[in-house]
Amino acid sequence: MTYPTPAEPLKIGTRGSPLALAQAYETRSRLSKAFDLSEEAFEIVVIKTTGDDRTLIDADKPLKEIGGKGLFTKEIEEDLLSGKIDIAVHSMKDMPVAQPEGLVLDTYLPREDVRDAFVSLNCSGLADLPDGAEVGSSSLRRRAQLLHRFPHLKVIEFRGNVQTRMKKLGDGVAEATFLAQAGLNRLGMNDVPATPIEIDDMLPAVAQGAIGIERRGDDNRTAHMLAAIHDIPTGQRLAAERAFLAALDGSCETPIAGLAVLEGDQLRLRGEVLRPDGSEVISDERVCSIDDGAALGEAMAKDMLAKAGPDFFSWR
């Protein structure tokens, strides 16, 4: 097998945000070490997606109204299919459950902290916020979970990278917001006034904290190389979580949370589906053998759908 060289590098496609680049650099570093190759044998290719084009995207509109998760993957996957890049690095919580024909997503790096982080310049936690305080979030899940537990708070649309969100907080647009703790950790942003929220208080998004690497299905060399850096426990957890999401027909229109953890030879899956206004939440928690995680995720989702009934999803 011929491995990549500086003259003919393996091309790693990514968005251009600081977090996306940090994830691409981590992928490059792991591949370099696994095969004792120089980092110059791997080329980082920044791809601008529709979701990154501020002339097309209204930052004050909910993501579901402007195209959903595919806004941040379409161009990258097109370049992967055409051969312009060899692999694509993604934040798994932002990935649709189905890939375009010809692409495979089966490599995951070791998962980071799965928790959400509460971020505020003035308060240390949600319980400290006064009645009517405005909390900024673009996540339907976080909005619904917040309103379910703290109905006295007001939620406003709030998007952008860490720097943009911190400026908005400084300008008084909102009193607080949320970020993924994993992103803060990967960026080394210890100066952000963030407090991790325990999962019992805010169950995270499916696959939060995980990096996924997508490839062409017929690229055997790349499949071989990616197998060397795949984290099996993360893959086992995501198999259950993404099966749960897929069976719920998960999209940007539905507030869904899910988390699988490994406990010896067993897997524990927790899941939630909420009304967007937080007025109702349906949750479940089950345990199975690790190998049965995907089947458990699908079965649990179907039972939750039956329990919810058709009226639960009347907003969609």
> CA-based diameter of the chain, in Å?
63
Give the β-pairing of 154-156 and 281-289.
unpaired
Q: Any residues with CB less than 8 A from the CB of 262 and at least 6 apart, and which?
A: 233, 236, 237, 268, 290
Q: What letters, b where the CB count within 10 A reaches 16 and e where it falls short, cover 261-275?
A: eeeeeebbbbbbbbb
- Using alpha carbons, list the distances in angstroms from residue 213 to 103, 202, 223: 11, 27, 10
For the annotated catalytic residues, the residue numbers are 94
Pairwise CA distance, residues 132 & 151, whole Å: 9
Residue 261: left (phi > 0), alpha (psi -120 to 50), or beta? Answer: beta
Nearest alpha-carbon partner for 165 in 151, 149, 183, 144: 183
Pairwise CA distance, residues 269 & 261, whole Å: 7
Return the H-helix or E-strand segment holding 11. Answer: strand 10-14
Pairwise CA distance, residues 181 & 7, whole Å: 37
Pairwise CA distance, residues 276 & 252, whole Å: 11
